[in-house]
Amino acid sequence: MHLVSLEHIVKGYGDKTLFDDLNLSISAGQRIGLIGVNGTGKSTLLRILAGLEKPDEGSVVHANDFRAVYLPQNPQFVHGGTVLEQVFAGDAPLMQLLREYVTALAGLERDPADPGSQARLIEVQQRMDAANAWEAATAAKTVLTRLGIRDFARPVGELSGGQRKRVAMARALLEPAQLLILDEPTNHIDNDTVEWLEQYLSRYRGALLLVTHDRYFLERVTSRIIELDRGRLYSYEGSYSAFLEQKAARIEREAASESKRQNLLRRELAWLRRGAKARSTKQKARAERVEELRSRKADGPAPKLEMALAASRLGRKVLEVGHIGKSAGGRRLIRDFSFLLQPNDRVGMIGPNGSGKSTLLNILAGRLEPDEGTLDIGPTVKLAYYTQEGEWMDESQRVIDYIRDAAEVIRTADGETLTAAQMLERFLFPPQQQWTPIAKLSGGERRRLYLLRTLMGEPNVLLLDEPTNDLDIETLSILEDYLEQFPGAVITVSHDRYFLDRTADRLLVFEGEGQIRTYYGSYSEYMDARRQEKEQEKAGERNRVSPPSLDGPAQDRRANRQKKLSFKEQKEWEEIEAKIAALEARCAGLQKQILEAGSDSGKVQKLYEEEQTAQAELEEAMDRWAELSEKVEEIENSRRI
């Protein structure tokens, strides 16, 4: 059954047509990835599906009770709200009730003796009980915690852009909907959180439509790919790897069809030019056929981005870091770190958000001084720094003037000299777009323009801070090829696991409290090694708990392979549901006593504090029940194998 359908959609801005007679249907339970070059209208298509934008022509058809939840690239928030208030800011009845609860709770905390605040909280709690909404409240805090947000009462205005995106993501994941629409959900979250999000979405019950540049994420989460290409939509069943195979076959078919058309056109033209004697009606028909072949629209291959820019010569000495340290906001970000960067090195940086990766890049780029230690830069180094935020752009400035401010002519790797306009064409900015203001570019097009300007100075050392954010997959693939051939050193901070696998053979792993570990190998190899370490730690714990088997090593191995709860966990699992029931009954009883206490503010305050403590214990017990139930499920699955 179709949840929503787009029928004969036409959409454009000015003289640029994004969609021409576009059709799309999304059914219940589908998991769709949307891909396409920046500027083709992916975000516009998402907004039309979410009901936030109207097409110029065509219709959007869906059931009356259809609900779509949309996570934009740059979410906006109501001024002054806290984290929890923003998470519950949706218009679904459950979200409204949870928002009322947060507001009532905050009101009582401001004035515990106010009878009106007490009555409002009790009334909302009773409705929470009736709607079984406590589980949703607990789930919200769990999701926020997994996304790295732990101060639920903090005003959203105090959060960074990345933190605000994660709060908006929590809201989108929790709000009830038939269709969840995510625009670049993997931006601004670290690698571990991306893996958690993969697992969360694999259990999501509704339909899913997302735009992401993370190819591993697409491969593991989606089962259908739709591609926007020059106003047309192509649909492919299967994962991202299946899409690549099917697209290659489609392009081959189209190329063969175009070759046949050209051959037929040449034969028809040759026949007419010979002036073959034939009936005039037949000759007229042939002439009309030639005109039809000439006028038939053939897209041909899409223009390809060319990134063959020159680089300056790099000597033997590049960068040497000696025992540097750096603290910020009372936290130690870098502790006694030494590092040698050599020509042709490919280094990746990974670690949780806020662990110091961008800080280290800023030190290497000379934009930030370390608290201690030394930084020695080679005399031939010509460094370019592609920052996560990008540089400030004058939105009224024309695209070509932005590039001309950096250089009028650019030298390519093969020695060719190109004008700024020619270089822009190679970066997929056609002549008519070069004279438009930067304000008219999409977010991805601005990042592509910034990338061109970064590479124009012929650098031989590249520092890239989250280069995959807002760049489309095709641009990333070409950037990966460029970095593979780049005759210099590259240091990359990225949460895109595929990009890291392609562009780094050594990792700097930020482990917290200023510790940075070096790992020699790719990101996937590092993750495999980390999983093995965890398995060995678990095996060591089991061996410490259980005495060795008298039946020898083989029996020990079989025993270690069999998963089971520890004695303590088994006892806890048997008792936890009764504990939860008792805590729920205690909360209900305290709420009843608060009602009966009436105007006795002293007694109400004491009962309220007891009820808050019981609620906290209940939430903790629910979290522990979720952990144990997941472990029990894993054990059951392992026994079936």
In three-state form (DSSP H/G/I as H, E/B as E, the rest C), the secondary structure along 348-405 is EEECCCCCCHHHHHHHHCCCCCCCEEEEEECCCCCEEEECCCCCCCCCCCEHHHHHHC
Highest mean pLDDT: which range of 382-386, 529-533, 591-595: 382-386
Predicted confidence at residue 558, as pLDDT, reads 39
Q: Does pLDDT of 287 surpass 70?
A: no
- Report yes or no on whether pTM surpasses 0.75: no
CB of 3 closer than 8 Å to CB of 27:
yes
pLDDT band at 286 (very low <50, low <70, confident <90, very high): low
CB of 425 closer than 8 Å to CB of 438:
no
Which tens digit of pLDDT belongs to each residue from 164-203?
888 999 999 988 899 999 999 988 788 888 888 998 998 8
- Give the angle subtended at the CA of 506 by the CAs of 219 and 475, to the nearest 5°: 45
Q: Helix, strand or coil for residue 211?
A: strand
Predicted confidence at residue 563, as pLDDT, reads 58
Q: Which has more pLDDT, 50 or 190?
A: 50
Predicted confidence at residue 76, as pLDDT, reads 79
Highest mean pLDDT: which range of 242-256, 406-420, 448-462: 448-462
- Give the angle subtended at the CA of 258 by the CAs of 253 and 264, to the nearest 5°: 130
Helices (H), 56-114: 83-87, 93-110
At position 132, the amino acid (one-letter code) is N
Find the length of the chain: 641
Predicted confidence at residue 185, as pLDDT, reads 92
Q: Does pLDDT of 411 surpass 90?
A: no
Q: Which residues contact 250 (CB under 8 A, 6 or more apart)?
A: 234
C-alpha–C-alpha distance, residues 86 and 95, integer Å? 10
Predicted confidence at residue 289, as pLDDT, reads 60
C-alpha–C-alpha distance, residues 496 and 542, integer Å? 35
Instruction: Using CB atoms within 10 Å of the CB of residue 314, give its burial: 0 to 12 exposed, 13 to 18 middle, 19+ buried.
Output: buried
Which tens digit of pLDDT belongs to each residue from 359-405?
999 999 999 999 999 999 999 999 999 998 777 889 999 999 999 98
CA 213, 219, 221, 227 dihedral sign is positive
Q: Does pLDDT of 554 surpass 50?
A: no
CB of 178 closer than 8 Å to CB of 438:
no
Q: Identify the DSSP state of 181.
A: E
Predicted confidence at residue 369, as pLDDT, reads 94
Q: What is the dihedral of CA 88, 90, 94, 98, to 10 degrees?
A: 20
Residue 144: CB atoms within 10 A of its CB come to 23
Residue 388: CB atoms within 10 A of its CB come to 17
| Average pLDDT of the residues in 56-72 | 91
Helix (H) or strand (E) holding 446: helix 443-455
pLDDT band at 349 (very low <50, low <70, confident <90, very high): very high
C-alpha–C-alpha distance, residues 5 and 23, integer Å? 7
pLDDT band at 437 (very low <50, low <70, confident <90, very high): very high
| Average pLDDT of the residues in 483-506 | 91
Q: Which has more pLDDT, 153 or 492?
A: 492
Share of the chain above pLDDT 90, in %: 32
Which tens digit of pLDDT belongs to each residue from 193-252?
888 899 899 888 899 999 998 999 999 999 999 999 888 899 999 988 888 888 888 888
Share of the chain above pLDDT 70, in %: 87
Q: Identify the DSSP state of 467.
A: T
C-alpha–C-alpha distance, residues 614 and 585, integer Å? 10
Q: Does pLDDT of 335 surpass 90?
A: yes
Q: Residue 91 is encoded by which pair of tokens?
A: 């218009």
Q: Helix, strand or coil for residue 337?
A: strand
| Average pLDDT of the residues in 333-345 | 94
| Average pLDDT of the residues in 323-330 | 92
| Average pLDDT of the residues in 260-284 | 62
Q: What is the dihedral of CA 530, 532, 538, 544, to 10 degrees?
A: -120
Which tens digit of pLDDT belongs to each residue from 495-511?
899 999 999 999 999 99
Residue 584: CB atoms within 10 A of its CB come to 17
Q: Does pLDDT of 300 surpass 60?
A: no
Q: Residue 300 is encoded by which pair of tokens?
A: 């041909």
C-alpha–C-alpha distance, residues 35 and 37, integer Å? 7
CB crowding 463-475: b at 16 or more within 10 Å, else e: bbbbbbbbbbbbb
Q: Which residues contact 432 (CB under 8 A, 6 or more apart)?
A: 15
Q: Does pLDDT of 125 surpass 70?
A: yes
Q: Does pLDDT of 110 surpass 90?
A: no
Helix (H) or strand (E) holding 32: strand 31-35
Listed residue (53, 49, 51) closest to 24, CA to CA: 49
Q: Which has more pLDDT, 16 or 335?
A: 335
| Average pLDDT of the residues in 128-148 | 84
Strand partners for 374: 322
DSSP string covering 238-306, please? S-HHHHHHHHHHHHHHHHHHHHHHHHHHHHHHHHHHTT----HHHHHHHHHHHHHHHHS----SPP---
- Give the angle subtended at the CA of 487 by the CAs of 425 and 388, to the nearest 5°: 65
At position 330, the amino acid (one-letter code) is G
Which tens digit of pLDDT belongs to each residue from 596-609?
766 666 676 777 77
Strands across the sheet with 68-71, in order?
Answer: 68-71, 179-183, 207-211, 31-35, 224-229, 232-237
Q: Check residue 344 and give left, alpha or beta (phi > 0: left; psi -120 to 50: alpha).
A: left
Average pLDDT of every residue of the chain: 83
